[in-house]
A and B are shown apart, each in its own frame.
Chain A
Amino acid sequence: MKTQYPIKRIIDDEGNLVDASYEEQLDEELVKTLYYHMHRIRTFDRKAISLQRQGRLGTYAPFEGQEAAQVGSALALGADDWMFPTYRDHGAKLTFGADMTKTYLYWNGRVEGCVPPEGKKIFPPAVPIATQLPHAAGAAWAERRKGTKNAAIAYFGDGATSEGDFHEGLNFASVFKVPAVFFNQNNRYAISVPIEKQMNSETIAQKAVAYGIPGVRIDGNDCFSVYFEVKKALDYARSGNGPTLIEAVTWRTGAHTTADDPTKYRPEDQGKDIVEPLLRMERFMKNHGYWDETWMAGIDEKIKAEVESAVEAMESYPKANVEDLFDHVYAEMPAQLADQKESYLAHLRRG
């Protein structure tokens, strides 16, 4: 199966172009945009870990190592497409237009973090694994029924493919030929369980055969490959051909969350040979004469300022309003809930 689903890549670990058919499309603007976003979300991610260590943020799920997969896929989307992320895909969300302050707020236990900017169709992160796949199928189905050209992308990890909702989402999507892209980030571990224990199949891409849809396996650390394959799948979906399953093979550099210790389950030297996505793109840029230290220093400064300002806004955000505990459960609050709210507010007033 690995030979039937070879890992497609456009640049190799040394940053050499290995698929010359993309040469013209890799113009400086695209390359720099992809790099910029990867650097931006990495800065966000590292800051989040640091804040958590200082007690300024709750438990956080880092994505370092998966920047190419998240940026490449998110930038391939059209502005009116739907995004169904997991709790590790805030890099993709930020790239697609989620608010950075609110993304930090989410990790600080604030429900405001789930509210997307007006007009941005970003669903709250799925926490129960794979449950978002049927949602993406449904939202895409609605777009098909409305006759638009919009599509939906669902993010999920390797562990998610063991869940029933993975099957039900792909099955519904393929039966109703909906414009959806199922974007798998295979980072090889579901918390502590390696992919060899997760499944007997050699690849995730091959599972597409069962649904009669295209399955493609790509190097998830090659941002170009991710960007162009997701774009291709979106075009395929928009043309009425139905969904695609993409397996982006990547590597989670750090822990599952800040509460996790991967040294308990990952051999120390595992992953050391993997060239992380930013370094790989840096090599490509140097090979092609796109690398510019002044530009790099400039974006670094700009991003650091953006992140610092988002952290500041997060920390000075108005305190959580106790009324929000009650006010968003129903459109119109049932009398019994209104009584509970009033009784609790009275309790608070009594001090």
Chain B
Amino acid sequence: MAMEMEVRDVSQKKETTQFLTIVQAVNDGMKTLLETDDSVMILGEDIGKNGGVFRATEGLQEKFGADRVVDTPLAEAGIIGTSIGLAVNGFKPIAEIQFLGFIYPAYEQIMTHVSRIRMRTMGHFTVPMVIRAPYGAGIRSPEIHSDSTETLFTHMPGIKVVCPSTPYDAKGLLIAAMEDPDPVIMLEPMKSYRAKREEVPTGKYTVEIGKGKKVKEGTDVTLIAWGAMMTVVEKAAEQAEKKGISCEIIDLRTLYPIDRDIIAESVQKTGRAVIVHEAQLTGGLGNDIVSIINDTSFLHLRAPIERVTGFDVPVPFFALEEDFLPTPARVLEGIEKVVHF
């Protein structure tokens, strides 16, 4: 009897997970939301019949209808602007911006309305919505398709910004974002969209917004990154281990509000930090993280904090994008610099 139960449990467990890439997990997250909440709608360019340029919405219009999974006109401000009207009037839009580099026409709508409507009406009107956008360089995209402008949004009070690096987190953060009473921008690392697969639960679960994740324990230096840079950081850490340097790795996952505790706890242990992001150095999120370490862990530091980032140049045409992006070798140099300070 007991044996039978155990066998059934195992088979049930097998049925309740799927082996998915990040982009498949995003798709599964939207499917779960559409299935469980009739007010959820998806809006975007080419997301219906075509299933999205990255296939993130593949099969969803067929399953849920063109009223809920909507091919919109080619207009980012229109997508976000109408999502605002839908959201104040009871619907829960998930707006896809095809590439983060094309979000700028919608910036005014996000900055002056999405982020402010709660504050402007003291909570009378709110716009719970999710804005999804693939971001980042490294897949030989045409120019402008590879931007990583997360700080344009972390600088904007009233919205939250998440950036998953794994299939599990992608689905869990997407569902958490849609359930959040405030608008959330989810930046999806397009370089990692199909890079790895992992077990992702079927059905509904959430990953808490505002919480980072310790990916690896270590003692000598804390590496802090998110999104597509996680792979770079993990490779650098492997090489550092070979040189006898023990790295602790933190995947920030949420870029606003940042998990200050996980940063402080780790840096207070290691005394050293290397922050890695592909966005430009000046005005980059690394500076906020340096400030958090300064505020929480100043007396624990054994070396100045190192930032390994993109340069203060526009994201280049793809012939030079590998020179723009932080590499494991550059991160390793940063690690050695802080360890041997």
Contacts and interface: CB of A to CB of B under 8 A. Distances in A.
Given A131-B113, A146-B90, A164-B105, A172 B119 contact: no
Contacts of B121: 111, 114-116, 124
A127 B83 CA distance: 19
Interface of A is mostly: helix
B304 interface: no
A246 to B, nearest CB: 19
Contacts of A324: 122
Interface in A299-349: 324, 328-332, 334-337
A336 B77 contact: no
Given A168-B75, A330-B182, A114 B85 contact: no
Interface in B6-37: none
B210 A134 contact: no
B90 A131 contact: no
Nearest to A82: B89
Centre residue among A111, A152, A164, A336 by max chain B CB count within 10 A: A336
A135 B116 CA distance: 14
A334 B91 CA distance: 25
B125 interface: yes
B82 interface: yes
B217 interface: no
A124 B119 CA distance: 11
B94 to A, nearest CB: 14
A220 interface: no
Contacts of A165: 77-78, 81, 108-109
Nearest to B295: A339
A334 B210 contact: yes
Given A116-B124, A137-B82, A145-B91, A168 B118 contact: no
Contacts of B105: 164
Contacts of A115: 121-122, 124
Given A141-B86, A142-B89, A165-B81, A330 B112 contact: no
Contact of A134 (B82, B88, B126, B180): B82
A111 B91 contact: no
A222 interface: no
A331 B85 contact: no
A142 B118 contact: no
Interface string B68-112: 000011010110111111111111000000000000010011001
A143 interface: yes
A164 B80 CA distance: 13
Given A168-B75, A331-B182, A336-B260, A141 B122 contact: no
Given A131-B109, A134-B77, A145-B67, A139 B86 contact: yes
Interface in A78-123: 82, 111-112, 114-116, 123
A116 B121 CA distance: 8
B81 A138 contact: yes
B112 A172 contact: no
B37 to A, nearest CB: 14
A218 interface: no
Contacts of B75: 168, 171-172
B112 A134 contact: no
Given A138-B86, A171-B78, A331 B67 contact: no
Nearest to A334: B257
B262 to A, nearest CB: 12
B182 A175 contact: no
B120 A139 contact: no
Nearest to B83: A138
Interface string B108-141: 1100110001111111111000000000000000
B122 A131 contact: no
Interface string B47-85: 000000000000000000001000011010110111111
Contacts of B160: 330
Contacts of A171: 73, 75, 78
B258 interface: yes
A133 interface: yes
A145 to B, nearest CB: 7
A114 B72 CA distance: 30
Centre residue among B67, B83, B86, B157 by max chain A CB count within 10 A: B86
Interface string A162-190: 00110011011001000000000000000
Nearest to A332: B181
A172 B78 contact: yes
B129 to A, nearest CB: 10
Contact of A329 (B83, B88, B118, B125): B118
Interface string A120-164: 000110011001011111111111011000001000000000001
26 contacts: A112-B122, A115-B124, A123-B125, A124-B117, A124-B121, A134-B80, A134-B81, A135-B113, A138-B88, A139-B88, A139-B89, A140-B85, A141-B82, A142-B85, A165-B81, A168-B75, A175-B73, A324-B122, A328-B122, A328-B123, A329-B119, A329-B157, A330-B160, A331-B126, A335-B257, A335-B260
Given A165-B108, A168-B78, A328-B123, 13 more contacts: A115-B124, A127-B112, A128-B108, A131-B113, A134-B77, A135-B85, A135-B88, A142-B90, A146-B90, A169-B81, A172-B75, A330-B182, A336-B260
Interface of B: 67, 72-73, 75, 77-78, 80-91, 105, 108-109, 112-113, 117-126, 157-158, 160, 180-182, 210, 256-258, 260
